[in-house]
């Protein structure tokens, strides 16, 4: 272990953070190399540190590429490297927006969000720092398929699932029972709301029960790392659905509960290909020294795999967030998907007596799913493709996922009719 890592670990050793770091997490650091020395040279008359080509201080570039961007964009906003943790102004703006959307976070202490290259990358980095081989990772039985690649294949964790629903509600009791069965001093929990593939977010009452349970389960002998995958955050359509992230209720809940929020511009700002996402973290009693030390480790992990995230994506996003029309433009997009959601609810109601397909509870996000009773979801998916000109996703053997976010409202009824005809 290098002196850099030893120094960072010393700053963390009194906290829950150090006790839940993986071996890689304990070893990783950002060296005082090119990135750090280059930052120190910023603004100097002559800067011979960073490996980019410049012409009288302007990043060299091809006009054929520069011409693809708005005249409002400067070469300096498109072509140079970004810091490993992301553009400072964007990180500040995202934190302000996070507090705006989650008023419970006001006056709570947590890290400045750091930038990663998409939410998959955020989860990949988090798993690297906090999960060792054979560590227990708990998640609902309805989860995004990429979790297998990240948590099973990348870090070789022991994934434990519980039934996501009980009596049409989030199965908080099932989660608690699964935590109790883990005979280890560290348990990692991954929660994704709105959920992919179900499209479900707990109600405010369910969320309070969930936060209470996790706070109670975190002890000196069983420390919890709760990773919140908020990829579809803000896409809420029902009045009783919890509108704040679970992170807002866990970030200062318990000194033995380390909360990590992974979110992204991807869906919230409708910039799927920009690959700009964020990691934010905290626990009850976190200090500035600990935030700095762990941020350095995150920076080292990012530096060691992609170096830094997209410069154009970050600068364009920041300009959009500074626009006076930012919130109204976002709401228009949410309203379009919300209209499709209610059209889908109405179309499904007409088939509620059909027992071949069971509608999984959904109230938010991009998706809804059917539980396919009389055959496999793959068999139904292939029939939809071959005979009904309709593409859907088969998941976990028995679930068929429909992305209503990508179906125009006037086509919702026809899509539902074709699905039920195919099931017959």
CATH number at residue 344: 3.90.1150.10
Identify the pLDDT of residue 85. Answer: 94
pTM attached to this predicted model = 0.93
Q: Which residues span the domain enclosing 335?
A: 326-423
Shared domain check, 255 and 141: yes
Task: Note whether residue 256 is domain-resident.
Answer: yes
Cβ–Cβ under 8 Å, residues 253 and 217: no
Identify the pLDDT of residue 349. Answer: 95
Identify the pLDDT of residue 41. Answer: 66
Positive or negative: CA dihedral 4, 5, 9, 10: negative
Identify the pLDDT of residue 58. Answer: 86
Identify the pLDDT of residue 33. Answer: 62
Number of structural domains in the chain: 2
Shared domain check, 95 and 189: yes
Shared domain check, 166 and 269: yes
Task: Note whether residue 13 is domain-resident.
Answer: no
- Mean pLDDT in consecutive groups of 10 residues from the start of the chain, 424 residues: 92 96 95 69 72 82 90 88 93 96 96 96 97 97 95 96 96 97 96 96 97 96 97 93 97 97 90 92 97 96 91 93 93 94 97 94 96 96 97 94 96 97 96
Shared domain check, 245 and 358: no
Identify the pLDDT of residue 1. Answer: 80
The values of phi and psi at residue 147, to 5°, are: -60, -35
Shared domain check, 213 and 131: yes
- How many residues comprise the chain? 424
Q: What is the DSSP letter of 142?
A: S
**Which two structure tokens, joined as six digits, stand for 42?**
């910023």
Task: Note whether residue 320 is domain-resident.
Answer: no
Task: Note whether residue 300 is domain-resident.
Answer: no
Task: Note whether residue 260 is domain-resident.
Answer: yes
Spatial distance between the Cα atoms of 225 and 17, rounded to a whole number of angstroms: 9
Cβ–Cβ under 8 Å, residues 271 and 398: no
Identify the pLDDT of residue 267. Answer: 87
Please say which residue of 285, 313, 344 terminates a domain. Answer: 285
**Which two structure tokens, joined as six digits, stand for 151?**
């948590």
Q: DSSP letters along 126-139, please?
A: HHHHH--TT-EEEE
Sort strands 393-395 and 399-403 into parallel, antiparallel or unpaired: antiparallel
**CA neighbor of 312 nearest in space, from 42, 27, 152, 117:** 117
352-383 burial: b if 16+ Cβ within 10 Å, else e: eeeeebebbbbbbbbbbbbebeeeebeebbee
Identify the pLDDT of residue 333. Answer: 92
Shared domain check, 135 and 235: yes
**CA neighbor of 381 nearest in space, from 422, 345, 349:** 422
Shared domain check, 275 and 331: no
Task: Note whether residue 317 is domain-resident.
Answer: no
Identify the pLDDT of residue 405. Answer: 95
Task: Note whether residue 31 is domain-resident.
Answer: no
Task: Note whether residue 247 is domain-resident.
Answer: yes
Q: Which residues make Cβ contacts (< 8 Å) with residue 166, sequence separation at least 6?
A: 173, 174
Shared domain check, 224 and 345: no
Identify the pLDDT of residue 38. Answer: 66
């Amino acid at each position: 272990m290098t002196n850099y890592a030893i120094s960072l670990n010393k700053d963390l050793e009194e906290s829950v953070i150090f006790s839940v770091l993986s071996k890689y997490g304990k070893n990783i650091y950002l060296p005082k190399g090119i990135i750090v020395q280059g930052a120190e040279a910023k603004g100097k008359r002559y800067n011979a540190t960073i490996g980019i080509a410049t012409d009288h201080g302007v990043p060299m570039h091809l006009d054929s590429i520069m011409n693809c961007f708005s005249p409002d964009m400067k070469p300096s906003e498109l072509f140079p490297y970004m810091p490993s943790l992301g553009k400072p102004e964007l990180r500040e703006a995202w934190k302000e927006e996070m507090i705006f959307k989650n008023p419970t976070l006001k006056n709570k202490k947590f890290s400045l969000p750091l930038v990663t290259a998409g939410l998959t990358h955020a989860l990949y980095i988090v798993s690297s720092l906090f999960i060792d081989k054979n560590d227990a990772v708990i998640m609902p039985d309805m989860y995004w398929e990429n979790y297998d690649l990240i948590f099973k294949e990348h870090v070789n964790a022991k994934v434990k699932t519980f039934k996501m629903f009980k009596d049409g509600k989030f199965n908080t009791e099932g989660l608690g029972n699964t935590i109790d069965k883990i005979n280890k001093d560290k348990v990692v929990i991954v929660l994704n709301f709105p959920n992919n593939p179900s499209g479900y977010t707990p109600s405010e009452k369910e969320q309070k029960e969930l936060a209470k349970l996790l706070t109670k389960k975190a002890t000196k002998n069983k420390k919890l790392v709760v990773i919140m995958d908020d990829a579809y955050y803000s896409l809420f359509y029902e009045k009783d659905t919890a509108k704040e992230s679970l992170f807002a209720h866990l970030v200062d809940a318990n000194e033995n509960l380390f909360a990590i929020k992974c979110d992204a511009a991807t869906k919230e700002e409708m910039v799927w290909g920009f690959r700009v996402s964020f990691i934010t973290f905290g626990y009850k009693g976190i200090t500035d020294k600990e935030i700095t030390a762990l941020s350095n480790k995150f920076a080292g992990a990012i530096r060691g795999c992609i170096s830094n995230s997209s410069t154009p994506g970050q600068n364009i996003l920041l300009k959009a967030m500074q626009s006076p029309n930012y919130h109204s433009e976002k709401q228009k997009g949410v309203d379009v998907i919300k209209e499709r959601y209610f059209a889908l609810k109405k179309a499904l109601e007409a088939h509620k007596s059909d027992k071949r397909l069971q509608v999984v509870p959904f109230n938010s996000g991009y998706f809804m799913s059917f539980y396919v009773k009389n055959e496999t979801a793959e068999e139904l998916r292939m029939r939809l493709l071959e005979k009904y000109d309709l593409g859907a996703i088969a998941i976990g053997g028995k679930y068929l996922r429909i992305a209503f976010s990508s179906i125009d409202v006037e086509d919702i009824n026809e899509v539902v009719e074709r699905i039920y005809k195919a099931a017959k």
